[in-house]
A and B are shown apart, each in its own frame.
Chain A
Amino acid sequence: MTRRAFFVRTAVLAPVVLAAPALLRAQNSSTVNMNGDFYIPVRPAPKPNATAQLDDDAIQALERTLACPCPCTLDVYTCRTTDVLCTNSPAIHRDVVRMVEGGYTGDEIVSQLMDVYGQRILALPRKEGFNLVGWFFPFVAIGTGGLAIAYLLRTWRNNAVAAAALATTSGVRSIGVQATDEEMERLNAALRDDSR
């Protein structure tokens, strides 16, 4: 096996070998059920002398950053206003409203929900820890690809320059072609004729 062949094999096989167990495990543990109950009550005690910190618009904005735990992949607001089947998003909405009435701020509500559901309640992973890999790896990969292409283009260009230099300095013109009139006539006819 050549070095390149080895490199290609490693490059392709490594991710496959690494990803396979994760996929297999996910495959075994997954339970997708659209009508299933993913809702977990989040009902902290109201603060003393509670006044609502958020108005309706703010609640709406907050709910747009929460992922509905049902498999709809929508945010809580969109899900509860449109998906007639999902019982999870209205339930979460009630919890949110109850917490707002209990005097909780937006950040506090989110952290209460995260204590119960974990990070998956957020529609967007926070830019911290391992999640940073998720956010920035694509850009790193594409940037690397861009540099690789620039390098490749330069190599090709250099190949052409080297070939041209060789042709002029060595005195051997490898494509010094002589053509008969008949051949030139045929070539020109081919170029004139465009009914390709």
Chain B
Amino acid sequence: MILVGELSLWVAILMAAWTTTVSWAGGYQRRSDLVFSGERAMYATFAFTTVASIGLWYAIFTHDFSLKFVSSYSSRNLPSVYLFSSFWAGQAGSMLFWTLILAGYGALAVFFNRHRLRAMMPWVTGTMGLVTLFFLLTTAFGANPFERLDWVPADGRGMNPQLQNPGMAIHPPMLYFGYVATAVPFAFAIGALITRQLDGEWLAAVRRWSLLSWFFLTIGIVLGMWWAYVELGWSGYWAWDAVENSSLLPWLSGTAFLHSIMIQEKRGMLKKWNVTLVVLTFLLSILGTFITRSGVIESVHAFARSNVGPWFLWFLIISTILTAVLVSTRLKDMEAKAELESMVSREAAFLYNNLVLVGIAFTTLWGTLFPILSEWVQGEKITVGPPFFNSVNTPLGLLLLALTGIGPLIAWRRASSANLKRQFLAPSIVGVLAVVVLLALGMRHFYALVFYGLAAFVATTITMEFVKGIGARRRMYQENLATAGVRLVVRNRRRYGGYVVHFGVVVMFAAFAGSYFKKDYAEVDLKTGDTFTATDPWGDTWTFTSEGMNSFETLNRRVTAISLVATYNGKPMGRMLAEKRQHFDSNKAETFEPSTEVAIMEMARQDVYVFFSGLRDADTAVLTFNFNPLVIWVWIGGFIMAFGGVIVMWPQAERRERGYVAELSPQHDGALVGAGV
């Protein structure tokens, strides 16, 4: 089975090469037989990549440690959930996994669009085939999961304990689903540019796939934050690490695209910009992959050092150049009659929203790459740490938050100033009121005040949108409250789903601002029976009494746990268990460095986060206590965003003909003539 998998990888390479060759040749020569062959080859590529993946999973589950990949990232005593996820725990396997998703997306894109977009599809298929080919070649020659060792170890090295976390089992696939999905709009963009068809069905296809990519990236990023928070122990969820940044980049440009595409749909404008964003999103996801896998920039994600880096770099350079040349030859086809009724309009707000989103992406990329640039220019490596990103991106993020509130208040096409005043009045009052209340309560942090003022402003705007929308429907269609409420969303999923996403963003930003009030007590020594007293950021008193430590063995690890009894203003809050873990293999030999499992008590107002740093002596634990305000709202905000994404993506249930298009057919023609004259 493993050998079949390995062989399949090579067959898949041939199939992908064939897909590209015949699809492009078929598109160029308009030969349908070639095009059909290309379509089938795309399916075959997917089939063989699947067989190769099954082969690798088979090797993992049967513990065939003669494969270097299997022995490096799994072991006999690894729980089966993590056996499954060890497929993507290392470079080689994750490359194959990535390719599997890519080939699957390619097959789906061909399957759903081959009849409808017949002129464009050969180019789309060929492009998908080419990208797949690149990933297959990189997998086979740069990081082959089927590479064998000269000898067979008795047991594998096992999986890094920090990856043994449910969040980590689904975070990478979600991110990959998102990253990889950017390839499909890219392929469609290439197809549309070559055939010069940038409207209509193309737009719908690209929008669907971009939305899918956005959805998975959102989930993947939030899960990554959650994993970092519960697993890494430094009580934060975002450190502007190079790899985190590179997942954020395509998300930002994809978000910009999902906004600006509306202008093309409504006005037929911004075609060049939209194509640019589609291409940019794909290139950024490749750049992110390069950064993650080449070790070019230091990062906690120690995929590190492998020989796939140059592959990605060359792919990035060549595809950037080719796409730029292609776009520059098609500028004329993307000319549009650009007219605007007013400078103050939703269109204008969207342009600025795009500027800020792309601006944040640029800043983030800039900060990530600046150490390289600095080394190149001034010969000295510098560190661009989290404070840089925070100080530069915080004002931009606030601007974005403000636009989230301002945009919906301005009508498409035109807004008069008297009207704007009326629209802005209520949300502004609420926003200012929020700031005044917080000031009265003693909050003095400038950014936090701006965050909460804007959050109140935006939340009011969104609420007003729903309330007014329901009111308008009740007047226009004489519906009752419930019907109007449901229909408002159902009949315009994209707009109101989008507002739900915005609400999730507001919740998340409010939670981010909570981190300004984070409080920590580091290196607290606690003997059995000792009590530590702390004051949280809200001014309440906590006590933690050590019940002592105990050690036990479970599954694949030896655990030392400290048990703390917590009270909150004198009220008992139950037990908190913080652990240190030493993993071992099936022969009880220690693997990896010791790791820790933090104790977290989640409350609406704050998380109590206890980190077990080590032992002073047999009876004294060294602990770090963190009070992290509002962290739970980050996850809730992420959930709301994903939920809004589902609303937007939900397929239209009703299929009906538009009322105003008379269905004219040759038979009916005569009858209509009779009626018309």
Give residues in A with beta carbon < 8 Å to B. 1-2, 4-6, 8-9, 12-13, 16, 19-27, 30-35, 60, 67, 71-75, 77-79, 81-85, 118-125, 129-131, 134-135, 137-139, 141-142, 145-146, 149, 152-157, 159-160, 163, 180, 186-187, 189-190, 193-196
Known contacts A13-B321, A32-B298, A121-B383, A27 near B309 by CB under 8 Å: yes
B359 touches A8 (CB 8 A): no
Asked whether, in the complex, the Cβ of B377 is within 8 Å of the Cβ of A130, the reply is yes
Closest to A78 in B: B234
Query: For chain B residues 607-629, which have a beta carbon within 8 Å of chain A?
Result: 611, 613-614, 624
Does A23 contact B296, Cβ atoms closer than 8 Å? yes
Report yes or no: B376 in contact with A31, Cβ–Cβ below 8 A. Answer: no
The docked-state distance in angstroms from the alpha carbon of A131 to that of B381 is 11
User: What A residues does B380 contact at CB under 8 A?
Assistant: 118-120
Cβ A81 vs Cβ B659 within 8 A: no
Chain B residues contacting A130 (CB-CB under 8 Å) are 374, 377-378
A73 contacts B300, C-beta separation under 8 Å: yes
A-side contacts of B359, CB under 8 Å? 138, 141-142, 145
Is B541 engaged at the interface, CB distance under 8 Å to the other chain?
no
Can you report 11 A-B residue pairs in the complex whose CB atoms are below 8 A from each other?
A12-B324, A16-B317, A23-B296, A33-B302, A71-B302, A84-B580, A122-B383, A124-B387, A142-B362, A145-B359, A194-B487
Q: Output the nearest chain A residue to B354 by Cβ-Cβ distance.
A: A149
B contact residues around A142 at 8 Å (CB): 355-356, 359, 362-363, 396
CA of A125 to CA of B351, assembled, Å: 32
Query: What separation, in Å, do the CA atoms of A131 and B380 have in the docked complex?
Result: 11
Q: Determine the chain B residues whose CB is within 8 A of the CB of A131 once the complex forms.
A: 374, 382
Measured CA separation A133–B660 after assembly (Å): 58
Please state if B348 and A153 are interface contacts (CB–CB under 8 Å). Answer: yes
Q: Are B386 and A9 in contact (CB under 8 A)?
A: no
CA distance A78 to B595 in the complex (A): 16
Which residues of chain B are within 8 angstroms of A155 by Cβ–Cβ distance?
A: 338
Chain B interface size, as a band, is 35 or more
Give chain A residues whose Cβ lies under 8 Å from the Cβ of B329.
5
How far apart are B142's CB and chain A's nearest CB, in angstroms?
13
In the bound assembly, the distance between CA atoms of A72 and B297 in angstroms comes to 11
Docked complex Cα distance between A186 and B372 (Å)? 63
Q: Which of B27-35, B78-86, B235-243, B428-436 lies on the face that meets chain A? A: B235-243
Given contacts A78-B234, A81-B624, contact A16 B321 (CB under 8 A): yes
Given contacts A125-B383, A154-B343, contact A27 B302 (CB under 8 A): no
- Scan B470-512; emit 1 where CB is below 8 A from any A CB, else 0: 0000001100000000010001100000000000000000000
Asked if residues B242 and A153 are in contact (CB atoms below 8 Å), the reply is no
- Which residues of chain A come closer than 8 Å to B377, judged between CB atoms? 130
Determine whether B656 belongs to the interface, using a CB cutoff of 8 Å to chain A. yes
Cβ contacts under 8 Å, B343 to chain A: 153-154, 157
B337 to chain A, nearest CB (A): 8
A151: min CB distance to chain B, Å: 11
Least Cβ–Cβ distance between A24 and chain B, in angstroms: 6
In the complex, what distance in Å separates the CA atom of A98 from the CA atom of B313?
45
| Interface contact A30-B295, CB-CB below 8 Å | yes
By a CB distance below 8 angstroms, the chain A residues around B235 are 82
Query: In whole angstroms, how far apart are the Cα atoms of A51 and B385 in the complex?
Result: 32
- Are the C-beta atoms of A8 and B396 separated by less than 8 Å? no
Q: Is B402 an interface residue (CB 8 A)?
A: no
Q: Which of B447-487 contact A (CB under 8 A)?
A: 476-477, 487
Question: Is the pair B385, A124 in contact by a Cβ cutoff of 8 Å?
Answer: yes
Contacts of A8 in B (CB 8 A): 324, 327-328, 331
Contact of A9 among B299, B325, B340, B487 (CB under 8 A): B325
Is B233 located at the chain interface by the 8 A CB criterion?
yes
- Tell me the chain B residues, 288-345 only, with Cβ under 8 Å from chain A: 294-300, 302, 304-305, 309-310, 313, 317, 320-321, 324-325, 327-329, 331-332, 337-343
**Which residues of the partner chain A approach B163 to less than 8 Å between Cβ atoms?**
none
Q: Report yes or no: B375 in contact with A26, Cβ–Cβ below 8 A.
A: yes
Q: Which of B304, B310, B339, B654 has the most CB of A within 10 A?
A: B339
Q: How far is the CA of A82 from the CA of B396 in the complex (A)?
A: 30
B49 in contact (CB, < 8 A): no
Please name 8 further chain A to chain B contacts, defined as beta carbons within 8 Å, in addition to the given A26-B372, A60-B522, A194-B477, sorted by A numbering: A22-B376, A73-B242, A74-B239, A82-B234, A84-B596, A130-B374, A131-B382, A153-B348
Residue of chain A at shortest CB distance from B242: A73
On whether the beta carbons of B614 and A84 are closer than 8 Å, the reply is yes
Whether the Cβ atoms of B355 and A186 lie closer than 8 Å is no
Query: In the assembly, what is the distance between CA of A195 and CA of B310, in Å?
Result: 53
